[in-house]
């Protein structure tokens, strides 16, 4: 009997992502799914859910196992705000319904993991701050924030998690490298365990800067 | 893209070359580069090694490699069982090992049935031990051309057992045996143990890992919270390898985990996991304690066949392996000294292969099954009953003069089955030391003109002891219930006692 590992991806589709960045995001994300699908461990346990956020917040891919996953083109409007706060709010609601908690009868899921990708800053700051507290209370196994491009601001993501990756650009190469790293972080749990205690993220590739 | 030359740190006159294209294949702890002729790889540890680690690597590529070369069946172990590193190099403070390249059979030639996503990918064991990948309803099931049949997994398990046996004979422990560290190919029925640079020499080099989830022994997890210096802390050793080996064999043959059942030990997932694999570990098929049995209503739909022990219980592997599974997962689960050693697994697997019958359903996915000792045998995988009579030969050895004693070894006979020297003589042992001469059949069984017969190909002194008739080479003898056939009059020659069932 296998436990599930739920992975939530919050992807910024605000107006500033228009053009090459959204192409690169699609590319990188599809590459990630493809990499995960070549790992039998991930295939056996990983479930993926994708939320996009701009002016609207959508759960474009409701929770699905890797094998049943159908690729969807991630689109973004020409312009508009970045409703990161509403996205986190939706995330909290989804986790509450998706996540199987251990009970006397049923094996619970692993602690879920969360990736937040943004190229800007939250337009709904008050809601964002309220929601970060709620997200933290949900006990994620790992939260990784990724601030990409020249206009992104790390400070807001740092309110959510200590693991923040900064990417200087949003081109195809950078995003592909980032998603490769995401893939290896997800897979780290099934690798050999050290004799020490805590699980650590694998080191990020050279061109990334981790801010701790 | 550039070709880099590095010198051996064992013998400075030796050098190796690799192609550096800037993006090496990344393993757990190593970056892997290919040689220009793709005969070997240079695998660099990403972080610099300390003195002990380097010393261990040096011993693995010198002392232990020499031991294998000087021991029995060196080519077999170095080509068919291990990818053993054979030299060490250094560059920019980083240590690298030279490892023979993996054979092409260990890469998927098709992979998934519906797309090429994993074509060319490494066939790590996990693909073949999870129930979903072989379920046709699963959206990304493996192509049936990749799966082999049930006999494939016996040969794979035998190869892994031999690899572990040899390591333990040399005084080493693997310490991280898992399906990630074994490449398998069900098509050619082969397995290779890889990532051997982490081997542990008990007492000399401490292990650096506790293993991979699913394979870590209960006593290691139970004491994981203790400091490394605590005398109560148990780290990987040969006995924990034997736990991992038992789990691997169970998973290859039964495609589920022996300890992952329905019992919830703690509402916290991490704690529950630690207890279920550690101090509370309990066999899902424990005959008396049903606490951890699989809750079949909670299985995912594509796990419902192999994931359900009621459909294919561990006893489907026959009496010899069932006995070892009981020792590994009941008696020895929390008592490491009780665990079967690698050699016992090898012997039981080989003896079980002699109990295997072909399924008469030509589209059966497993094609073979172990005779279940009942009078109405049927394939447990597709349910097809056995058609026709079923001869059984029990092997006896000469105790003294006219007294023959049972070997506890049975041969299930099917049409077009071969008989080998290791059946005919006690002096030939079926293991990795057999030469090509010993692997030639000495006789065969066929159903011929409504009779079961044994044809003698290469045995001297074969005799039907009921009729006292000699059976020279290229002659045959009919098999009848109660028949006693002396296979050879040489010392160690065995006798077959025939029973015909399913009449």
Task: Identify the residue with better confidence: A166 or B355.
Answer: B355
Whether residues A184 and B266 touch (CB distance < 8 A) is answered with no
Helix (H) or strand (E) holding B20: strand B15-20
Give the model confidence (pLDDT) of B353-378 as tens digits.
Answer: 999 999 999 999 999 999 887 777 89
Shortest alpha-carbon distance between residue A51 and chain B (Å): 24
Tell me the mean pLDDT in the region B323-348.
Answer: 97
pLDDT at A199 over 90: no
List chain A domain ranges. 5-211
Give the model confidence (pLDDT) of A1-21 as tens digits.
Answer: 788 999 999 999 999 899 888
Residues whose CB falls within 8 Å of the CB of residue B318, separated by 6 or more in sequence, listed in order: B352, B355, B370, B371, B372
* Strand extents, DSSP E, A54-148: 57-65, 113-118, 142-148
Compute the distance between CA of residue A17 and CA of residue B199 in angstroms, rounded to an integer: 49
Evaluate whether B284 touches B293 at the Cβ level (below 8 Å).
yes
Q: Which tokens hold the place of A112?
A: 């879920």
Helix (H) or strand (E) holding A37: helix A20-37
- The rounded mean pLDDT for chain B is 93
pTM for the model = 0.92
Whether residues A1 and B295 touch (CB distance < 8 A) is answered with yes
Residues whose CB falls within 8 Å of the CB of residue B502, separated by 6 or more in sequence, listed in order: B375, B376, B377, B386, B388, B389, B390
Residues 179-198 of A with CB under 8 A from B: 184, 189-195, 197
Shortest alpha-carbon distance between residue A169 and chain B (Å): 20
The owner of tokens 């937040």 is A116
pLDDT at B16 over 80: yes
Which residue of A lies nearest to B46 if distances are taken between CA atoms? A203
DSSP state letters, B143-181:
PGGGT--HHHHHHHHHHHHHHHHHHHHTT-B-S--STTS
Question: Of A176, A193, A12, A90, which is closest to residue B212 (Cα–Cα)?
Answer: A193
Q: How many residues does chain A have?
A: 212
In this structure, the dihedral spanned by the alpha carbons of residues B447, B448, B450 and B452, taken in order and rounded to 10 degrees, is: -50
Whether residues A102 and B211 touch (CB distance < 8 A) is answered with no
Residues B363, B368, B370: CA angle, nearest 5 degrees: 145
Evaluate whether B146 touches B108 at the Cβ level (below 8 Å).
yes
Q: Which domains does chain B have, with CATH numbers?
A: 2-101 (3.30.200), 120-358 (1.10.510.10), 388-502 (2.60.200.20)
* ipTM value for the complex: 0.84
Confidence at residue B495, expressed as pLDDT on a 0 to 100 scale: 95
Residue A105 burial (CB < 10 Å; 0-12/13-18/19+)? exposed
The owner of tokens 């006292």 is B468
- Residue B435 has a CB neighbour count (10 Å cut-off) of 8
Evaluate whether A44 touches B126 at the Cβ level (below 8 Å).
yes
Compute the distance between CA of residue B206 and CA of residue B234 in angstroms, rounded to an integer: 11
Shortest alpha-carbon distance between residue A32 and chain B (Å): 12
φ, ψ of residue B24 in degrees (nearest 5): -65, 160
Query: pLDDT-derived band of residue B135, with 50, 70 and 90 as boundaries?
Result: very high
* Residue of B235, B257, B267 with shortest CB distance to A195: B235
Question: Of A55, A57, A117, which is closest to residue A81 (Cα–Cα)?
Answer: A55
- Residue B378 has a CB neighbour count (10 Å cut-off) of 15
Compute the distance between CA of residue B130 and CA of residue B307 in angstroms, rounded to an integer: 9
Compute the distance between CA of residue B352 and CA of residue B97 in angstroms, rounded to an integer: 38
Whether residues A191 and B180 touch (CB distance < 8 A) is answered with yes
Q: Is A44 helix (H, G, I), strand (E, B) or coil?
A: helix
pLDDT at B120 over 50: yes
pLDDT at B285 over 50: yes
Compute the distance between CA of residue B307 and CA of residue A74 in angstroms, rounded to an integer: 36
Tell me the mean pLDDT in the region B389-406.
Answer: 91
Tell me the mean pLDDT in the region B466-494.
Answer: 94
Query: pLDDT-derived band of residue A206, with 50, 70 and 90 as boundaries?
Result: very low
Confidence at residue B38, expressed as pLDDT on a 0 to 100 scale: 92
Evaluate whether B298 touches B271 at the Cβ level (below 8 Å).
no
- Tell me, letter by letter, the H, E, C secondary structure of B213-237: CCCCCHHHHHCCCCCCCCCCCCCCC
Within 8 A of A184 by CB-CB distance, chain B residues are: 26
Compute the distance between CA of residue B224 and CA of residue A143 in angstroms, rounded to an integer: 26
Compute the distance between CA of residue B152 and CA of residue B142 in angstroms, rounded to an integer: 16
Compute the distance between CA of residue B466 and CA of residue A151 in angstroms, rounded to an integer: 94
Query: pLDDT-derived band of residue A191, with 50, 70 and 90 as boundaries?
Result: low
Give the model confidence (pLDDT) of B66-81 as tens digits.
Answer: 999 999 999 999 999 9
Q: Is B480 helix (H, G, I), strand (E, B) or coil?
A: coil
Compute the distance between CA of residue A100 and CA of residue A96 in angstroms, rounded to an integer: 9
Query: pLDDT-derived band of residue A166, with 50, 70 and 90 as boundaries?
Result: confident
- Residue B472 has a CB neighbour count (10 Å cut-off) of 11
β-strand pairing of B403-412 with B390-400: antiparallel
Whether residues B298 and A67 touch (CB distance < 8 A) is answered with no
8-state DSSP, B112: B
DSSP state letters, B440-454:
S-SEEEEEETTEEEE
Q: In what order do the strands lie in the sheet with B87-91?
A: B25-26, B30-34, B40-45, B94-100, B87-91
Evaluate whether B245 touches B177 at the Cβ level (below 8 Å).
yes
Query: pLDDT-derived band of residue B33, with 50, 70 and 90 as boundaries?
Result: very high
pLDDT at A78 over 90: no
* Strand extents, DSSP E, A29-129: 46-53, 57-65, 113-118
Tell me the mean pLDDT in the region B248-270.
Answer: 95
8-state DSSP, B115: -
Compute the distance between CA of residue B110 and CA of residue A111 in angstroms, rounded to an integer: 34
Task: Identify the residue with better confidence: A29 or A184.
Answer: A29
* Residue of B117, B235, B269 with shortest CB distance to A34: B117
Which residue of A lies nearest to B120 if distances are taken between CA atoms? A38
DSSP state letters, B417-473:
EEE-HHHHBTTS--STT--GGGGS-SEEEEEETTEEEEEESS-SS-EETTTTEE--T
Q: Which tokens hold the place of B474?
A: 């290229």
Q: Does domain A5-211 have CATH number 3.40.50.410?
A: yes
Whether residues B269 and A109 touch (CB distance < 8 A) is answered with yes
Compute the distance between CA of residue B503 and CA of residue B493 in angstroms, rounded to an integer: 30
Within 8 A of B127 by CB-CB distance, chain A residues are: 40
Q: Which residues pair with A116 in a beta bridge?
A: A10, A145
Mark residue B461 as left, alpha or beta (left: phi above 0; alpha: psi -120 to 50; beta: remaining).
left
Which residue of B lies nearest to A35 if distances are taken between CA atoms? B117
Compute the distance between CA of residue B491 and CA of residue B499 in angstroms, rounded to an integer: 25
Whether residues A111 and B269 touch (CB distance < 8 A) is answered with yes
Give the model confidence (pLDDT) of A89-111 as tens digits.
Answer: 999 999 999 999 888 888 889 88
Query: Quick one: CA dihedral A99, A103, A106, A108, positive or negative?
Result: positive
Which residue of A lies nearest to B294 if distances are taken between CA atoms? A1
């Amino acid at each position: 009997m296998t436990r599930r590992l739920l992975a939530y991806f919050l992807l910024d589709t605000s107006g500033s992502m228009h053009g090459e960045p959204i192409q690169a995001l699609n590319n990188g994300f599809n590459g990630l799914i493809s990499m995960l699908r070549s790992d039998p461990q991930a295939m056996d346990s990983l479930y993926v859910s994708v939320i996009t956020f701009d002016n609207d917040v959508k759960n474009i891919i409701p929770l699905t196992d890797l094998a049943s996953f159908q690729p969807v083109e991630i689109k973004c409007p020409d312009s508009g705000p970045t409703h990161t706060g509403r996205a986190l709010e939706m995330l909290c609601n989804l986790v509450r319904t998706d996540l199987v908690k251990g009970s006397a009868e049923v094996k619970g899921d692993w602690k879920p993991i969360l990736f937040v990708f943004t190229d800007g800053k939250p337009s709904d700051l008050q809601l964002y701050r309220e929601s970060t507290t709620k997200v933290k209370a949900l006990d994620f196994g790992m939260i990784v924030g990724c601030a990409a491009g020249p206009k992104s601001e790390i400070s807001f993501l740092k309110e959510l998690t200590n693991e923040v990756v900064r990417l200087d650009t949003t081109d195809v190469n950078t995003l592909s490298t980032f998603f490769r790293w995401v893939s290896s972080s997800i897979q780290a749990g099934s690798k050999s365990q050290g004799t020490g205690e805590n699980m650590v993220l694998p080191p990020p590739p050279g061109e990334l800067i981790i801010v701790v | 893209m550039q070709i880099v030359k590095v010198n051996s740190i064992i013998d400075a006159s030796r050098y190796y070359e690799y192609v550096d294209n800037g993006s090496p294949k990344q393993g757990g702890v190593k970056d892997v580069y290919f040689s220009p002729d793709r005969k070997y790889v240079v695998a660099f540890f990403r972080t610099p090694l300390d003195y002990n680690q380097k010393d261990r690597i040096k011993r693995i590529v010198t002392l232990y490699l020499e031991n294998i070369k000087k021991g029995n069946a060196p080519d077999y172990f170095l080509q068919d069982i291990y990818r053993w590193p054979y030299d060490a190099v250094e560059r920019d403070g980083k240590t690298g090992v030279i490892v023979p390249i993996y054979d092409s059979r260990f890469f998927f030639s098709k992979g998934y049935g519906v797309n090429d996503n994993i074509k060319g990918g490494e066939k790590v064991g996990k693909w073949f031990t999870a129930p979903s990948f072989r379920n046709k309803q699963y959206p990304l099931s493996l192509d049936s051309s990749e799966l082999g049949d049930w006999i494939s997994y016996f040969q794979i398990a035998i190869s892994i057992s031999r690899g572990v046996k040899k390591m333990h004979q040399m005084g080493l422990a693997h310490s991280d045996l898992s399906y990630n560290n074994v490449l398998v190919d069900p098509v050619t029925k082969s397995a290779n143990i890889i990532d051997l640079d982490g081997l542990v020499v008990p007492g000399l080099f401490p292990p650096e890992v506790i293993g991979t989830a699913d394979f870590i022994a209960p006593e290691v997890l139970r004491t994981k919270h203790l400091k490394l210096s605590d005398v109560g802390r148990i780290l990987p050793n040969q006995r924990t390898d034997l736990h991992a080996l038992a789990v691997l064999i169970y998973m290859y043959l039964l495609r589920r985990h022996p300890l992952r059942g329905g019992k919830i030990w703690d509402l916290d997932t991490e704690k529950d996991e630690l207890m279920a694999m550690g101090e509370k570990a309990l066999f899902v098929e424990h005959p008396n304690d049903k606490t951890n049995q699989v809750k079949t209503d909670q299985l995912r739909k594509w796990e419902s066949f192999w994931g359900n022990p009621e459909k294919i219980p561990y006893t489907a592997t026959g009496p010899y392996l069932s006995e070892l599974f009981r020792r590994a997962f009941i008696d020895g689960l929390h008592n490491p000294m009780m665990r079967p050693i690698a050699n016992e697994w090898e012997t039981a697997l080989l003896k079980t292969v002699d109990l295997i019958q072909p399924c008469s359903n030509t589209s059966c996915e497993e094609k073979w099954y172990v005779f279940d000792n009942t009078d109405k045998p049927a394939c447990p995988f597709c349910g097809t009953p056995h058609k026709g009579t079923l001869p059984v030969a029990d092997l006896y050895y000469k105790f003294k003069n006219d007294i023959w004693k049972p070997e506890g070894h049975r041969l299930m006979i099917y049409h077009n089955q071969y008989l080998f020297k290791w059946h005919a003589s006690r002096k030939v042992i079926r293991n990795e030391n057999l030469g090509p001469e010993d692997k030639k059949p000495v006789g065969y069984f066929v159903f011929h003109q409504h009779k079961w017969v044994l044809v003698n190909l290469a045995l001297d002194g074969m005799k039907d002891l009921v009729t006292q008739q000699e059976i020279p080479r290229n002659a045959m003898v009919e098999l009848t219930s109660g028949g006693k056939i002396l296979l050879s009059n040489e010392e160690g020659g065995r006798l077959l006692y025939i029973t015909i069932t399913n009449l």
